[in-house]
Structures are given as C-alpha cells and as structure tokens.
C-alpha cells in the first residue's frame, strides 16, 4: 500500500509542477513547439508525468486531468474538495495494490512451476549432483586444500543468471572479486561453497527456497525464482591487504 501511495504521490507532485509551470497554449501533444527553454522544460515535465502515471493509466482520464490542471493554473475553485480528492486517491492506490498483489501471486506461481520443471530435468544431466536440501551443482574445475566452514570468510568470483540465461549479477563484470562471511548469504551459497576448495569452480542451481523465496530480490529476481551461479572460490579467510601500492 505504501508503494502505491508513494507512486501516486509522485504522479500528483508532477501534476502540481505542471500546473504551476504550464502556459496556456492551443498547441498540444506531439504538435507542441519545442523551441524555447520553457517549451522544452514543459515537455520534459510532461514526459515525466506520463511515465509516472503508467501504472495507473487505465484509471486516468486525460480530459479530466487537463481540466484539473487548467483549474489549478487559473486559480479556479476545484470541482472536488480536499476530502473528495484524498478519498479517490486512496481508492485508486488500493486498486493498484490489489493489482500488484495479484500480478505478483501469478508470477510467483509461474516461476515456481517453471523452476520445478527446470530442476527436475537439470538433475538428470550427467555431472549434476543433487544434495539432500535440493541444491544442485556440477564441478567445472576442482581445486585443492581445505573446505571452508560456514563460519569462515571467503573470497570468490561469481556470475548469477536466471534459468532463461538472463544475467543479474557478476563480479567478473565489475572486475573485482568479493569477500563475505559464508554464513551471511543465501542458504544455497552457504551450503554450496562449503563443498568447494580454493581454486575450484562450481556451477550451482539453487531452488528458490534456498535463495530468496517468495519475496524475490530487487527488480531482477522475482518471487520463487531458481538461480544459477558460477562460483570460483579464490581463498578462505580474510583477504590479505595489498601493500604493493603503499
């Protein structure tokens, strides 16, 4: 609900800017002149407003919105008082939230079904092993030495993708390995990296319940998504300080 209200607030704030900055002009839409700074600025504000209203575009009547802008700019008394305007904003925000919840539930169900099918087929491939938790992995390169414990700090290079091949994160792309306490990451990582030794490179296929589950993570990882990671274990323990540049 808070996200929906915030989105509406952004939209309405943009509308207020338009109302305060717009000038009456018979030209409209794609025929508007974009010659002066004022025209360009007004157009830019309009584009921002249009984008901010995309999530509620089915609830927006452009003619009524223009009437509201015209009244506000002209200083006319609004046709709806403060209470009525607040009520309809809350009503639409609630509708937005309900749509978002429904869409997320549908996406979660779809991801779960697709993920289960993927793991079932992937587990049959030669070289892929499945642990008791459901984590799947295959050895790309085997290293030597001790296995890390969950209480250890490790340094790794990695690349993460979805089952459709879309990359969502990569230390290789950033050109910098990462170090972290192994107990502070998703369960699939905590379990999987303990199977490795320094110099190893494994590929992990992590069920959603060993990753981010129904909540997902950020924009790129949706609810109930299976994650694939190529992980290279560089070292165990706190990374040594590089004194070469000192």
Catalytic residues: 158, 168-169, 186, 212, 229
Q: What's the alpha-carbon Rg for the chain, to the nearest Å?
A: 26
Region of 203 please: left (phi>0), alpha (psi -120 to 50) or beta: beta
Residue environment code for 116-141, b if the CB has 16+ CB neighbours within 10 A, otherwise e: eebbeebeeeeebeeeeebbbbeeee
Distances (CA, A) of 227 to 116, 137, 207: 12, 12, 7
Contact predicate 229/172, CB 8 Å: no
């Amino acid at each position: 609900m808070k996200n929906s209200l915030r989105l509406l607030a952004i939209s309405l704030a943009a509308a207020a800017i338009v109302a305060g900055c717009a000038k009456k002009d018979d030209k409209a839409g794609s025929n508007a002149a974009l010659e002066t700074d004022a025209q360009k600025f007004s157009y830019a504000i309009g584009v921002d407003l249009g984008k901010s209203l995309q999530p509620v575009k089915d609830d927006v009547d452009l003619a009524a919105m223009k009437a509201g802008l015209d009244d506000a700019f002209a200083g006319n008394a609004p046709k709806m008082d403060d209470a009525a305007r607040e009520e309809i904003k809350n009503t639409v925000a609630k509708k937005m939230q309900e749509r978002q919840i429904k869409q997320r539930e549908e996406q979660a169900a779809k991801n779960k079904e697709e993920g289960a099918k993927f793991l079932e087929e992937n587990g049959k491939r030669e070289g892929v092993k499945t642990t008791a938790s459901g984590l799947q992995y295959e050895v790309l390169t085997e290293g030597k030495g001790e296995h890390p414990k969950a209480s250890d700090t490790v340094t790794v290079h990695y690349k993460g993708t979805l089952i459709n091949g879309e990359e969502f994160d990569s230390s290789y792309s950033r050109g910098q390995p990462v170090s972290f306490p192994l107990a502070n990451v998703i369960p699939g990582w905590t379990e999987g990296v303990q199977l490795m030794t320094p110099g190893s490179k494994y590929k992990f296929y992590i069920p959603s319940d060993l990753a981010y589950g129904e909540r997902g993570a950020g924009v790129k990882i949706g609810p109930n998504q299976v994650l694939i990671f190529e992980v290279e274990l560089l070292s165990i323990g706190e990374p040594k300080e590089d004194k070469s540049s000192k």
